[in-house]
A and B are shown apart, each in its own frame.
Chain A
Amino acid sequence: MEHIELFFKSIFIDNMIFATFLGMCSYLAVSKKVATAVGLGAAVIFVLAITVPLNWLLDVYLLKDGALAWLGPEYAEYDLSFLSFIMFIATIATMVQLVEIIVEKFAPSLYNSLGIFLPLIAVNCAILGGSLFMQSREIQTLGLAFNYGVSSGIGWFLAILAIAAIREKIRYSNVPAPLRGLGITFIITGLMAIGFMSFGGMLTGGDEEKTTEQTVVVEPTQQKVEITKEAIDIAKNEKEIKE
Chain B
Amino acid sequence: MGLLSKKDIKLITDPLADNNPISVQVLGICSALAVTAELKPSIVMAISVMFVLAMGNTVISLIRNIIPPKIRIIVQLVVVATLVIIVDQILKAFAYELSKQLSVFVGLIITNCIIMGRFEAFALANNPWRSFLDGIGNSAGYGIILIIVAFFRELLGSGSLLGFKVLGDSIEKTGVYAYGYENNGFMLLAPMALITIGIIIWVQRSRNIALIEN
Contact = CB atoms under 8 A, between A and B. Distances in A.
A177 interface: yes
Interface residues of A, number: 65
Question: For the complex, would chain A's binding face be called helix, strand, loop or mixed by DSSP majority?
Answer: helix
A218 B188 contact: yes
Contact of B190 (A18, A125, A220): A18
B100 interface: yes
B103 A187 contact: no
A29 B38 CA distance: 27
A230 B62 CA distance: 50
Contacts of A182: 23, 26, 201, 213
Contacts of B85: 82-83, 85-86
A221 B101 contact: yes
Given A85-B110, A190-B192, A228-B38, A183 B182 contact: no
B195 A186 contact: yes
Interface stretch (A47-55, A126-134, A145-153): A126-134
B182 A219 contact: no
29 contacts: A20-B190, A24-B33, A28-B26, A83-B85, A86-B81, A86-B82, A90-B77, A123-B116, A179-B198, A181-B213, A182-B23, A183-B198, A183-B202, A186-B201, A190-B191, A190-B192, A193-B190, A193-B191, A197-B190, A197-B191, A220-B101, A221-B100, A222-B97, A230-B171, A231-B157, A231-B158, A232-B188, A234-B182, A235-B189
A136 B27 CA distance: 25
Contacts of A176: 202
Contacts of B82: 86
A173 B82 CA distance: 47
Contact of B98 (A21, A89, A221): A221
A179 B189 CA distance: 23
Interface of A: 18-25, 28-29, 82-86, 89-90, 93, 119, 122-125, 127-129, 132-133, 136, 176-187, 189-191, 193-194, 197, 214, 217-223, 225, 227-228, 230-235, 238
A127 B111 CA distance: 9
B89 A82 contact: yes
A114 B191 CA distance: 30
A231 B185 contact: yes
Contacts of B214: 180
B111 A128 contact: yes
